[in-house]
Structure formats: structure tokens, C-alpha cells
Structure 1
Amino acid sequence: MGAPGQSTDPAPYLRIAAELRTRIASGELRAGQKVPSARRITQEWGVAMTTATKVLATLRREGLVRAVPGVGTVVDTSGACGEPPVRSSRRPRKRPAESVLSRERVVRTAIALADAGGSAALSMRALAAELGVSTMVLYRYVPGKDELVVLMADVVFGEVELPADAPADWRGRLATGARLQWALYRRHPWLAKAMSFTRPPLSGNALALMEWMMAPARELLPDTPALLHTTVTVAGYVRGLAVNLEDEAEAEQDTGLTHAQWLKTRHGRLAEILDGGNYPMYAQILAYPDIGFDPDSMFAFGLDRLLDGLGAVMTERRPGPGGRGRRSV
């Protein structure tokens, strides 16, 4: 019995973890099937995000689930011993010796957590649980979460492989660089929200990509403010669309519907709204088959239009005799 006035009910995260264990043991959640995301847990059980994160971390430690980058947390009972009880009878996983840890391992584990559960799933406590160490140990390797995210961004920007046959013209180079950034945000949906152009993270790998992107344009934009504004405009366009990718990934995990499938479920309601004839533009759009309203098609269309506009700026500021910029006539 507990002390007088002290609740004997298990902590909320243990209670929720027990319910999910039961679903796994009964076969309701099968091997390879996604379990509720942290966001879904907060909605279904009415708990805070930190509690939801502890639920998934508990199940991972018990070998019942694993994080799959780009997919989410899925059932994986290969590491579990027998039928999972309400309270695990397994001994807690032995924490690795500090010599096994390194800053690189901490950062890469954080990237895997964010890839699987989104930026909301990343906390110093959740990361420590994943590594099997106390939270305080992490501060020997990174000063805090903000600095950790900067290191994560630098590592993933280092993944970008620049093409050997890089376009030599300004438009081809900017387009290639923008697509490389878009692909990077696609692989790591949390990254866009981690970037900022007012207070940018100091990432050498990100700067290297921008230097490579802007090299041909730099020859046509000797005016430094125009060079800066062009750089930020292109990178800002890519990031501006990419900030929606994490929300879309979470929504797909929560609903089980892709973006296209979700749109189809809304067609009936939208048709009712448009029935009065007050919105002819949207009626025309709705009637068009396979219009391609998805992030990738929107990105491609907007990028082409953006580069069209920058073409006028490049012509306008093309270096004249003596290397000084001149305005076109």
C-alpha cells in the first residue's frame, strides 16, 4: 500500500504504455504496424507531449517497438522476451559506458529520433532514454537542445552530394541547389523548422551548399545586397514550402491517409460549398482531373516562376565594362 494521501495509480506514461503493450500482445498491433505517434497519443489520451514521448521511449527500451526513419514507430517484438506484462519484469537496459558515447553518436541518434517522430519527439530526456544514459550525461557532449539542433542540421546538410557535372549557368545551378535542398527537407522533415534566416544556425555544410549554388550568379550580381537577397530569396522559398512537410508527415501518420487520399475525403464537402456558384475559380480547379496539388508539384511550379523573375534581375545587373554593374535598357 502507498503512503497515506499518496496515489497508487501508475504514472500516466506507464498506464498508456501498458495499454499499448496489451494491443501488441493481443495482435491488434502486429509486427511492422505503426503504433500511435507522440502527437496521436497526446490527442487520444489527453496528455502532454513529454508524456507521450516517454510512452514510446518506454516501449523502445522494452524491445517492443523501434523507430523507422521516414515511417514512424512500428511494432518490433523480436527483442521482447515472452508476452509483455503491464510492468516490464526485464531488468533495465544497462547504460553504456561513457567511453562508448561520443558527440557524433549523440547527434546521429537525435537525428534518428527526429526523423521518426518529428521535432516534437526530440528532447534531451527522450534522447537520453534512447541512448540508455541519464539526461545529465548528455550535457557533457552538447551544451543544450538548441546547440544539438545546430549540430544535427550541420550533419544532415553534409549528406548533400554535389553533382560532378554541375551546371555552369546561374539558372541551372540555382535550380539544382534548390532541388538538393528540397530533397534534404524531404528526408528530414524537421529540418525546415530548425532553419532560420533571421538567426540562422551556424552550419558550415549549409554555407558550403549556398556558396556552390550562388557561384555562377555571383558573377552577374557584383552588388553585394543583391547577392545576399538573391541567396535568401531562393533558400527561403524552398524552406517556406518545406515547413509544411513535417506537419503533413504527422497528419499522414495520425490519419493513415496520404495527402491525395485526404483530399478525396473532402471533395464532397467542398462541392457543397461551391454549389452556389460563388467560387468559380475553385469550381474549375475541383473539376480538373489529377491537377497535381501536392508539395512536389507546387515546389516545381514555384521554383520555375521564381527563377523566371530572377532572370530579369540577372540581366539588369549584368557586369558592364570595367566589371561594374549596369542596368539593361
Structure 2
Amino acid sequence: MSDADPPYLRIAGELRERIATGRLRPGDRVPSTRAIMRDWGVALATATKALAVLGNEGLVDAVPRVGTVVAARRLHQQTPQRAARRPARPGARPGGALTVDRIVRCAVETADRDGIAALSMRGIAGRLEVPTMSLYRHVRSKDELVLLMIDATFGEEPYPAVAPTGWRETLAASARLQWASYRRHPWLAQVISLTRPQPLVNLFRIAEWNLTGLVPLGLGQQDLLDIHMTVCIFVRGVAIGLAPELEATEDTGLTGDEWADVDQPLIELLTNGPFPTFREVSGMGNYDLDLDRLFEFGLQRVLDGMEEMVSNR
């Protein structure tokens, strides 16, 4: 690797060498784009292109909710220098022709790995190894790209061909499918608008499913839409905590429980702050702040309240 090479190739070369020498082993996380930006002092597009080079060589894989990890297939006969200098076929583009689907898949992978704040048209172009302006022949803007990402991710989980029996079971199934989408893509809750619904087929599919289960109750429009919106808002409300927790875990290397055990300002506030009741309750044992458990607990309480409302109509 020469000093004359572009920065992204030099970074890719250093990471490739770590993989080749075993310092990074299969399954190990490689530095994220944010870590590369910090440690090498480069821009987001440069960091993204460096990881894209390794991805195109099959050395790393982007794993949702984990990050970029060393792939099971390691460098074999190639030295880092030979791998870096491997020539591409004239006119070849990694991954085939540029399409809307390919752009959206790349954008979703980027947001899954680095968060929605890291998403940019330049960064996507870097990962796809195409000129930035070529993206605009397929997607008019970043805002449009985000809409396509929302529609694609909510379309991953098919709704059953036959709905469950009963409105409560129907809403519960809908809520769990939404939660599964948010779980796979923690950034998703940050870009959904429920007060100004985005005109997307797979979002309106949720409304169609919910309302089809509710209409037989004979409720008025206000009640029907209030129930539908309350369920969607509840699921998104719990899911909004997914992305910050993942980012905090990545930045600190500590889980939420581990962080709470060592964060001195928090410990000081809980120990000496003017909150005797909270201190008494927290001292009863270790509280399990698990979002999956909290989602199920809250969902049942929301449905309990709706069931009481429906029975009194």
C-alpha cells in the first residue's frame, strides 16, 4: 500500500492486514464508520468507502444490530498487497447494474449498521462505488430514499393471509409485526411520522389490517381511528429507545445494566438524591429493563383498556 493511494484504500489496507494476520478474526467487529472517522480523521464518505472495499472483497459482512464483522471467509492465498491491487474488469460495477432496489438495500444496510444519521447520498454512492450524481437518476433526493427505505422495511414481514379471530388478536398480531420491523431496523422509529402519515403502501397496509379487524365492532370513525393510531403510537413509542441504546452500547462497550453499575453521577443521584420512594423501590432487587418484555407488558395493558372501552359502548 502506497502513501499515494487514496485514504480509503489505505484504511482498507490496514484493516485487511489485521484480518490477514489474525488480529481481527471471523466474527470480530471491525471499526464502524464513526470509529474510522474518529481514529483516522477522515470524512464519512471515506470511511464508508473503506468498508465497502472490504465488503466487495468478501472480507466483512454487515450484520443488523451488530455492525460490520469479519466474514467467515478469510484471506487465503492473497497477501494484503495483492488483494488491494486486484484489478477490476473494465466497466464492471460491484453488485451489478444500479437500480432503485439496490440503492435502497444499500441504504437500509448502512442505517442498520451506522444509524440513520450516517445516511447520505455520498456515502451510499461510496459503498456502491458509483458517482454520487448517478443515484439521482433513480432516487430524486435523500428524503425520497428514506421513504423508500421505510416502505421496504415494513414490507419485509408478510401479514397472514387469514387474520386471527377477534379484534384484540388482530391488533396484537399487527403490533407484533410492527415491533419486529422496528427490532430489525432500530433507526426506523426515528423516521416514521404518525401525525402526518407518509403515503406508503406498506404503512397503509397496517391501517387496512387494523381497521378490518375493528369495523365489525360497529364503532364510529373517531373510535376506530383512535384505537388504530393508539396501537401504532404505542409500538413506535417503545421502539424509539432501540437506536439510542444500541449507539450507547457501541460507544461505551457496556450494556445498559453494566453502565448503570458504574456510572458515578447516576449512582450518586440514586444514593443521595431527594428520591426516597424511588430509592426504596429500586432497592427491592434488580429491575430488568428489557424492551421486548416491556413491549409485551404495555401491549396487553393497552388492549385491556380498549377492551373495557369497547364493552361499555
Partner of residue 31, structure 2: 36
Over the residues paired in the alignment, what is the CA RMSD in angstroms? 3.3
| Correspondence list, 1:166-177, <5 A | 166-177=163-174
- 1:105 and 2:110 are equivalent in the alignment: no
* Alpha-carbon distance change, 199 to 84 in structure 1, aligned in 2, over 3 angstroms: farther
1:57 maps onto 2:52 in alignment = yes
Q: Identity of counterpart residues, as a percentage? A: 47
Partner of 1:293: 289
Distance (Å, rounded) in 1 between the aligned partners of 2:177 and 2:209: 12
Q: Matched residues in 2 for 1:309 and 1:126: separation?
A: 46
Contact 1:36 1:254 in 2 (8 A): no
Cα 1:44–1:218 change in 2 (3 A) is: farther
Cα pair distance change 1:262/1:223, threshold 3 Å: same
The 8 Å contact of residues 260 and 266 in structure 2, kept in 1 or not, is answered as no
Q: How far 1:313 sits from its partner (Å)?
A: 3.4
Amino acid at match of 1:274: L
Alpha carbons of 1:127 and 1:292: their partners in 2 closer, same or farther (altered >3 Å)? same
- Aligned match of 1:220 in 205, 212, 217? 217
Does structure 1 residue 67 correspond to structure 2 residue 67? no
Alpha-carbon distance in 2 for matches of 1:121, 1:284: 41
Q: Relative to 1, partners in 2 of residues 1:52 and 1:241: Cα closer, same or farther, differing over 3 Å?
A: farther
Among 258, 267, 280, the residue aligned to 1:284: 280
1:81/1:153 CA distance change after superposition, 3 Å: farther
User: Once the two structures are superposed, what CA deviation does each residue of 1:189-215 show, in whole Å capped at 9, x if it has no partner?
Assistant: 122122112333221122112211232
The aligned length equals 309
> 1:1-329 residue pairs with structure 2 within 5 A?
13=8, 16-17=11-12, 19-45=14-40, 47-61=42-56, 63-76=58-71, 78=74, 82-85=78-81, 88-91=84-87, 95-96=92-93, 100-163=97-160, 166-220=163-217, 222-266=219-263, 270-276=266-272, 278-316=274-312, 318=313
2 CA distance for matches of 1:120 and 1:286? 34
Q: CA deviation at 1:20?
A: 3.5
CA contact (8 A) 2:52 2:128 kept: no
Q: Distance in 2 between matches of 1:190 and 1:86?
A: 38
Inter-CA distance 190–86: structure 2 relative to 1 (3 Å threshold): farther
Tell me, in whole angstroms, the C-alpha distance in 1 between the residues paired with 2:41 and 2:8: 11
Counterpart contact for 1:217–1:314, Cα < 8 Å: no
Distance 1:210 1:130, change over 3 A: same
Structure 1 residue 235, shift from structure 2 partner: 0.6
Structure 1 gaps, min length 5: 1-7, 319-329
Partners of 1:243 and 1:80 in 2: how far apart? Answer: 43
Distance 1:216 1:251 in 2: 39
- Paired residues of 1:64 and 1:79 also in contact (CA < 8 A): yes
Describe the SS at the equivalent of 1:167.
coil
CA shift, 1:61, in A, is 4.2
Q: CA deviation at 1:181?
A: 0.6
1:22 Cα deviation after fit: 4.8
Q: 1:3 matched to which residue of 2?
A: none
Shift of 1:37: 1.7
Query: Where in structure 2 are there 5+ consecutive unaligned residues?
Result: none
Normalised to the residue count of structure 2, the TM-score between the two structures is 0.81
Aligned counterparts of 1:127 and 1:120: Cα–Cα separation in 2: 13
CA change 1:16–1:282 in 2 (3 A) is farther
Could you tell me how far 1:136 is from its partner in structure 2?
Answer: 2.3
1:254-304 deviation line (CA, Å, top 9, x unaligned)? 3333334434444x7644433337323332343233422121122222222
**CA distance, structure 2, for counterparts of residue 80 and residue 193 of structure 1:** 41
Deviation of residue 165 (structure 1)? 5.8
SS at match of 1:74: strand
What amino acid is aligned across from residue 109 of structure 1 in structure 2?
A: C
After superposition, the C-alpha distances for 1:94-120 in whole angstroms (9 at most, x for unaligned) are: 533998333223322332332233223
Whole-angstrom distance in 2 between the partners of 1:272 and 1:225? 47
What is the alpha-carbon distance in structure 2 between the residues aligned to residue 14 and residue 254 of structure 1? Answer: 25
The TM-score, its normalising length taken from structure 1, stands at 0.78
